Amino acid sequence: MIALHSLPLSSSNRQTSFKCSVVGALLAGVIVLLGTLNAGAATPAAPAANRPNIVIILADDLGYGDLGSYGAIKVKTPHLDRLAAEGMRFTDAHAAAGVCVPSRYALMTGRYPFRNDRDWRQGTVIEDGRLTIASLVKSRGYATGMVGKWHLGFENGIAFNYAQPLRGGPVDRGFDSFFGIHASTDIPPYFYIRNDRVVAAPTDKIEANSSPGWSPIQGAFWREGPISPDLKLEAVMPRFTQEAVNWLAQRPSGGTNTSQPFLLYVAFTAPHTPWLPTEKFAGTSEASMYGDFVAQVDDSVGQILAAVERAGAKENTLVFFTSDNGPVWYPEDTKRLGHSSTGSLRGMKGDAWEGGHRLPFLARWPARIKPGSVNATTISFVDLLATFAEITGAKLPADAGEDSFSILPALLGQTATARPGIMTLSSRGALTLREGDWKFISALGSGGFSPPNKQAPTPGGPTGQLYHLGRDPGEQNNLWQQEPEVVARLSARLKAAQTAGRTRP
């Protein structure tokens, strides 16, 4: 029996300490997949002139229902809606976790986060020497840059020595350059980092703040602590946007087919708390300060897309936009403002329910992706590594991207390769497994931020949750006891995936 230990979480600290049990012993042949388009059998290397530039824009705590292209009415997102119209909109895309640290680990490594027990406060979350999306494309000749929120730790954890290099960060995990912050803008100490150096030490102090009328972890919420004189919380998003625009402007020959291809990863800090829209966006939505902050995210995306176009790189640039996990948005917020940040999905950030990890996911590649297309393929953040391997002609080694499957066929409008479902991790350690429309959850309750986050089984009652999302997308009818054969099958598959240490053959 595999023991599932929970990830500690408290209402005063919204970040997971990213600890879960890992039982790993490689068992060959546990999972067999049909098809040949897997990450370990990538297509031959494409000519350098045909390999696309790649831009990944990751919002922070943005919900499935926050964009106009996903049904939002009270918040206007014209730039993101244009991105959807010019590319592909996925309706069943998932983060590998309901909170940011494990979600970002999965995006970077193509590996499910329950396989990792590292704490970002104690050291680096990404193991030294592990292949990342950045180091992969860098090995294929790409220039690589990152702007924004790292939140995957440094060698000394949060015991920062501001006069020394911060080792184990982005520039040690495949990025040529980095400008950003170590975690969220509600987690001190607050300071900027350029490559592996602190720009200015946090010698000042900022007092804690919260917003009346919202829960303690919503609104203009941040924690007290040290802050550098050059960092203003409300100016972080504009600064990151400008840094990304500047990075694109510095590409040789504008990033065209005759120059070095590039990967730019922009990790926004919004609309995560503190919700601090600038004056330009304050009051522009009908969803209060949160909606205004979403509108600012949209504008920042528009500025980055414009920079790609000015560089003459639009036609051969593959742009992804998504969010790291769901929002902190309660049912009473929806009733009060008439805006559901998670759309019709149940739950929110942290949860095993869909609102915690099903997210907007947009992809544009004018040379290859059909404009205005909608794709219902079930995909996960872990799939980016294998996708980039196939695009660039790389072959993944056995000890990399253990759970990553290329979504290039889906992007090109082709039938996606069969895969053994997807798995997600809640903030309290509940695991989910999707197999077609079936969704298995290893525990009762939300497993995250929504009450009840944990429930003890009643005598003779279900010990977990099983939903058929095709018939019950709102996850209201637990079929655990009505479908014992499905429960047994999915439970066995989940344990096999844990034991094998991988799902990619």
Q: Any idea which residues carry the catalytic annotation? A: 100, 151
Asked if 356 and 439 touch (Cβ cutoff 8 Å), the reply is: no
DSSP 3-state of 263: strand
Asked if 313 and 251 touch (Cβ cutoff 8 Å), the reply is: yes
Q: Which amino acid is at 185?
A: T
- Write the CB contacts of 93 (distance below 8 Å, at least 6 apart in sequence): 322, 358, 359, 360, 361, 378, 379, 380
The pair phi, psi for residue 39, each rounded to 5°, is -65, -25
Q: Which residues pair with 321 in a beta bridge?
A: 57, 362
Asked if 347 and 353 touch (Cβ cutoff 8 Å), the reply is: yes
Nearest to 354 by CA among 252, 265, 465, 461: 465
Asked if 82 and 371 touch (Cβ cutoff 8 Å), the reply is: no
Asked if 54 and 262 touch (Cβ cutoff 8 Å), the reply is: yes
**Rounded to whole angstroms, how far apart are CA atoms 385 and 105?**
12
- Write the CB contacts of 472 (distance below 8 Å, at least 6 apart in sequence): none
List, in sequence order, every beta strand (DSSP E) within 187-261.
Answer: 193-194, 197-198, 204-206, 225-227
DSSP 3-state of 309: helix
Structure tokens at 367: 């040379």
Q: State the distance between the two ends of the chain, measured CA to CA, in whole angstroms.
A: 23
Chain centroid offset of residue 300 CA: 18
Asked if 220 and 270 touch (Cβ cutoff 8 Å), the reply is: no
- DSSP character for 13? B
**What number of CA atoms fall less than 13 Å from residue 319's CA on the CB side?**
30
In order of 41, 281, 307, 356, the CA distances from 292 in angstroms are: 45, 6, 23, 21
Nearest to 114 by CA among 7, 219, 208, 245: 7
